[in-house]
Structure formats: C-alpha cells, structure tokens
C-alpha cells in the first residue's frame, strides 16, 4: 500500500504518526499539501511529492494556513484525491464542514445535539440586532472567527457598539451564547473520537474562559462520563469526521454542550493524561479504511 502523511507543522505529531504507521506495517511518505502540483499535458495531472502514481491512502494531519486561494486549492487537491479513489482521512467534505464553524453548528443543531445558541450573519447591522436582543451586561455573546482555531481571535460582546467592523471579521459574524462555568474554575473538556468511538478525554483548565492548550490551558486527567462520550461520538457522526477532537463544556445541569468539532486535532496535551495511544489508534483506523477500500478482488478460478 502506498501511504502518504500530509502534514506541515507539528514535528511531535508527525513523528508519532510516522512511527505508528510504521509499527503497523506501512511505509508512509511525508509530504505537504502545499507541495502538491497540478500539471496537465501528459500523465497523471495531480503530482503528489514522493508518489510516481497516486497513493492508496492519505492521512491528513494539517493543511498549512494560507490565503483563501491557497486553501481552496489544497481542498481541491483533497477532493481530487478522493475522487480518484484515494482514501483520505479526514476526507475533504468533513474537513470543510469542521473548518467552517457555521457549518459545524448547523450540523450539530440538525442532529438535535445540545450546543449553545448560535447566530451567524454577514452584516454588522444584523449582528448588532442580535447582540441588542440576546446579550447584555453579565450575559455576553462570544464572537469567533469562522475559520478560527487554538482559541485565537475570540471576543466577548455585550453591547452592539463592541462589534468590530465587517472587514475585521472577514464579513461573517459568528456569535454564540457564552456559557458561564458554574463552579468558578475555567474548565472545559476535550474528547478524542476515532472511528466513531470516544477513545480518550481530558479536562482542560485555563486561567481564563478560553482554555485551549495553545493559550496555556492545562490538561488534567478525566474520568469521562458516558454521556460526554456519547455526545462526542454523536457530534463526530453529525459532522462525518473519521478522527476528531470535540470540545465540550458543562451545561451546569449535569450535561454537556458541544462547542467545537476539530477535524485536524492536536493531541500532545491529551496524550500526557490519557492511557490510549492516540497516534496508534489513528494509524490503525486509517490503515483499516485504506485496506477496506482497496481490498483485492477475489479471483474466481
Ligand atoms: N460559547 C462559549 N462559552 C464559553 N466559553 C467558550 C464558548 N465558546 C468557546 N469558549 C472557550 O473558548 C475556547 C475556544 O473556542 P472554540 O470554539 O473551541 O474555538 P477554537 O477553534 O479557537 O478552539 C473553548 O475551548 C472554550 O474554552
Ligand atoms: Mg476548540
């Protein structure tokens, strides 16, 4: 099997995944989606570095950030790979849904899963109306960048005049009801789901309301309650991700709300507090999917 690992940054994750794939008998080739070319005029027009013919499977760890054009091209490459029969994990449709926080919220809501009330509009006037109606002192809305990650660019908005101009939000206002933590600790939860199963979870404790590990959030061991595992599994299914990190927050009544579905999750923090070998689980699930898709046809004698 010809196996590619598409990754740009994060040496720790690359090394773990390469080792896990090798331990399971694969010989992965590391490449960056930014180095894939389209060349017409003869032969296979999709040129993946390290692959004279197209790979059988691509495990996608990261898509390098970039302009709208660069991201569109890289997603187009993933779509072209999938259309050519290459097993791509996570697949392009799942990536698109998870990267776009509005699409994620829509799918979570359609699946009937609990998530904070969310409002996504394009015009500042419409956003101002929502803030005037839904927010107030002590009960703000969270404004998030539509394509945000790692807890960057989030803001609490309590008054319409606090809304940034349309240019500053790339012309999309993603507003979500702020969920206050009831016990005075800045905690929420990360669940890692692979092949439909919640295989690991942790508490994330921050020094403020944004708990991402990238922003200083500390991973703590967590005896994941079954209802959190079930909710994370349902959220993964709703978005169609093969492996994912799901952010949950306590709803204050013993249950959980889905905050985010991450289709390119990092797990170096989680791995320090959980028993499951996450890279091994991802490699196992991915290779099983590649094998299932490329099962040799039975030869009838
Ligand atoms: N509605 C909310 N209420 C309270 N805290 C929130 C809310 N949304 C996000 N947060 C906090 O901000 C963090 C980052 O938000 P998230 O939606 O996961 O975006 P990102 O892609 O940046 O991780 C969450 O892990 C949580 O700590
Ligand atoms: Mg998050």
Residue 72 lies in a domain: yes
**pLDDT-based confidence at residue 298 (cuts at 50, 70, 90):** low
Does residue 169 form part of some domain? Answer: yes
- pLDDT at residue 88 above 80? yes
27 and 78 in a single domain? The answer is yes
CATH code at 157? 3.30.1490
pLDDT of residue 295: 76
Distance between CA atoms of residues 6 and 255, nearest Å: 36
Pair of tokens at residue 185: 């600790």
Q: Are residues 9 and 54 in the same domain?
A: yes
pLDDT digits (tens, 9 = 90+) for 186-208: 999 999 999 999 999 999 999 99
Residue nearest to atom 15 of ligand 1 (CA): 151
Structure tokens at 241: 């991700």
Report if residue 128 sits inside a domain. yes
User: What is the atom index within ligand 1 of the atom nearest the CA of 217?
Assistant: 27
Q: Which candidate, 100, 77, 69, 72, places its Cα nearest to that of 31? A: 77
Whole-structure pTM value:
0.95
Q: Which of 89, 110, 55, 47 is nearest to 242 (CA)?
A: 89
Q: Looking at the structure, do residues 195 and 257 belong to the same domain, yes or no?
A: yes
Please list, residue by residue across 133-160, b when 16 or more beta carbons sit within 10 angstroms of its beta carbon and e when fewer do.
ebbeeeebbbbbbbeebebeebeebeeb
- Any domain includes 299: no
Tally of structural domains, the chain? 3
The percent of residues above 70 in pLDDT, for the chain, comes to 98
Residue 248: its pLDDT value, please? 98
Q: For the residues 70-81, what does the mean pLDDT come to?
A: 95
Q: Are residues 171 and 188 located together in one domain of the fold?
A: no
- Please, are residues 17 and 44 in contact by the beta-carbon 8 Å criterion? no
Q: What mean pLDDT do residues 124-137 have?
A: 96
Question: Which mutation among 151, 153, 156 tests ligand 1's pocket best, with the greatest number of atoms within 8 A of CB?
Answer: 151
Last residue of a domain, one of 177, 204, 221: 177
Whose Cα sits closest to atom 18 in ligand 1? Answer: 260
Range of the domain at 31: 3-89+287-293
pLDDT at site 214: 87
> Per-residue confidence at 297, pLDDT binned at 50, 70, 90?
low
Distance (angstroms) between ligand 2 centre and the Cα of 232 equals: 13
Last residue of a domain, one of 140, 155, 177: 177
In a domain, 13, yes or no: yes
The pick from 154, 214, 216 for probing ligand 1's pocket by mutation, whose C-beta has the most ligand atoms within 8 angstroms, reads 154
**DSSP assignment string, 139-197:** B-EEEE-TT--TTTT-EEE-SGGGSPPGGGGTT-EEEEE----TTSS-EEEEEEEETTE
CB under 8 Å to 89, separation ≥6 — which residues? 57, 58, 59, 60, 242, 243, 282, 285, 286, 289
- Residue 76 and residue 151 in one domain: no
N residues, the chain: 301
- The atom of ligand 1 lying closest to the CA of 212 is 25
**Across the chain, what does the average pLDDT equal?**
95
Tell which of 145, 177, 209 closes a domain: 177
Q: How far apart are CA 243 and CA 95, in angstroms?
A: 11
Q: Are residues 261 and 197 in the same domain?
A: yes
pLDDT beyond 80 at 227: yes
User: What are the DSSP E strand ranges found in 195-242?
Assistant: 197-205, 218-221
On the question of a cis peptide bond just before residue 90, with omega within 30 degrees of 0, the verdict is yes
Atom 24 in ligand 1: which residue has the minimum CA distance? 210
- Which one of the ligands is nearest to 176 CA? 1
* Nearest atom (ligand 1) to Cα of 188: 27
Return the best residue to mutate from 150, 211, 219, 260 for the ligand 1 pocket (most ligand atoms within 8 A of CB): 260
Is 161 within 8 Å of 131 (Cβ atoms)? no
Parallel/antiparallel/unpaired status of strands 46-47 and 37-38: antiparallel
pLDDT digits (tens, 9 = 90+) for 39-49: 999 999 999 99
Maximum C-alpha span of the chain: 77
Q: Which ligand has the nearest atom to the CA of 211? A: 1
* Residue 275 resides in a domain: no
* Residues at CB less than 6 angstroms from ligand 1: 116, 142, 144, 148-151, 154, 176-179, 188, 209-212, 247, 249, 259-260
Domain assignment of residue 138, yes or no? yes
Atom of ligand 1 nearest to the CA of 145: 22
């Amino acid at each position: 099997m010809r196996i590619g690992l598409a990754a740009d940054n994060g040496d720790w994750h690359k090394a773990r995944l390469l080792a896990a794939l090798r331990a399971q008998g694969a010989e992965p080739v590391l490449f960056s989606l930014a180095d894939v070319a389209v060349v017409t005029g003869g032969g296979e027009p999709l040129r993946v570095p390290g692959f004279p013919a197209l790979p059988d499977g691509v495990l996608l760890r990261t898509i390098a950030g970039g302009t709208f054009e660069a991201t569109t091209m890289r997603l187009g490459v993933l779509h072209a790979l999938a259309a050519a029969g290459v097993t791509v994990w996570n697949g392009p449709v799942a990536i698109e849904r998870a990267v776009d926080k509005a699409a994620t919220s829509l799918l979570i809501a359609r699946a009937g899963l609990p998530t904070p009330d969310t409002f996504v509009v394009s015009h500042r006037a419409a956003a101002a109306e929502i803030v005037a109606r839904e927010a107030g002192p002590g009960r703000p809305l969270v404004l998030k960048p539509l394509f945000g990650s790692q807890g960057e660019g989030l803001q609490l908005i309590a008054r319409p005049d606090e809304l940034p101009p349309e240019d500053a939000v790339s012309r999309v206002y993603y507003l979500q009801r702020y969920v206050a933590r009831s016990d005075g600790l800045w905690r929420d939860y990360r669940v890692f789901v692979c092949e439909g199963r919640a295989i690991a979870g942790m508490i994330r404790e921050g020094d403020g309301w944004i708990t991402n590990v990238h922003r200083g959030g500390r991973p703590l061991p967590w005896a994941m309650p079954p209802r959190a595992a079930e909710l994370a599994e349902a959220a993964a299914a709703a978005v169609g991700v093969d492996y994912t990190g799901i952010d949950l927050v306590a709803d204050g009544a013993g249950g959980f709300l889905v905050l985010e579905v991450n289709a390119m999750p990092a797990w170096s923090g989680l791995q320090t507090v959980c028993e499951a070998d996450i890279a091994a689980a991802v490699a196992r699930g991915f290779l099983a999917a590649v094998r299932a898709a490329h099962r040799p046809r039975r030869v009838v004698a």
